[in-house]
Amino acid sequence: MTVLGNILQSYLTPVSVFKKRIIYISDSELFGALVIGCLITLVSRFPDTYTQSLISDNPFIGIFSATLVAILLVLPLGLYCLSGILFVVFKIFRFKISNFQLRLSLFWSFTLVSPIGLLFSVIKLIYAPSFFELFIAGLIFIVFIVYFCLFLNICLDAKDKKVESV
């Protein structure tokens, strides 16, 4: 199944999709899922960049170029750095998780949350009250943390079962 199909099916049954399809992907497929999440994030930022160009004196192409570089180059590097920092923290607290499993949980959580950014963009376009924008942003963060912890738990359980079977 494609990454977009896995994303849509993960909203209904995230645990089964992660256990059956996602946990067995390779490092290159994992990077592809991260790029898909970044592309969805870029698309969700498009209305906001257009509105910024209308309000400010900056041309649209300049704002869009900066957003493109930030999302497609800086964001993946930031997520790789975050996974490295989390790996060191988890090693200090003696969690038995591999760097790949940590990146898998982090990147797949980001990819699942990125379509919700489209909702956030629509909320900003209709000029909703600030507290509603803050609520949606907080909801996105909470959903990301819940998915990340859920997927980390699945990875830890899968590793324990492999150790028990050997």
Are the C-beta atoms of 120 and 140 separated by less than 8 Å?
yes
How confident is residue 163, by pLDDT bands cut at 50, 70 and 90?
very low
- Is the pLDDT confidence value at 127 over 70? yes
The tokens for 33 are 């899922």
- Is the pLDDT confidence value at 93 over 60? yes
Integer Cα distance of 47 and 44 in angstroms:
7
Candidates 100, 116, 83; CA nearest to 10 is: 116
Q: Domain limits at 65? A: 3-165
Give the mean pLDDT of 3-27: 79
- Judged by average pLDDT, the poorest of 15-29, 48-62, 85-99 is 15-29
- Count structural domains, the chain: 1
Q: What DSSP character marks residue 162?
A: H
Q: How far apart are the first and last CA of the chain?
A: 30
Are the C-beta atoms of 147 and 112 separated by less than 8 Å?
yes
Give the mean pLDDT of 30-59: 87
Give the mean pLDDT of 121-145: 84
Integer Cα distance of 33 and 79 in angstroms:
13
Are the C-beta atoms of 112 and 14 separated by less than 8 Å?
yes
Are the C-beta atoms of 21 and 111 separated by less than 8 Å?
no
Cβ burial, residue 89 (10 Å; 0-12/13-18/19+): exposed
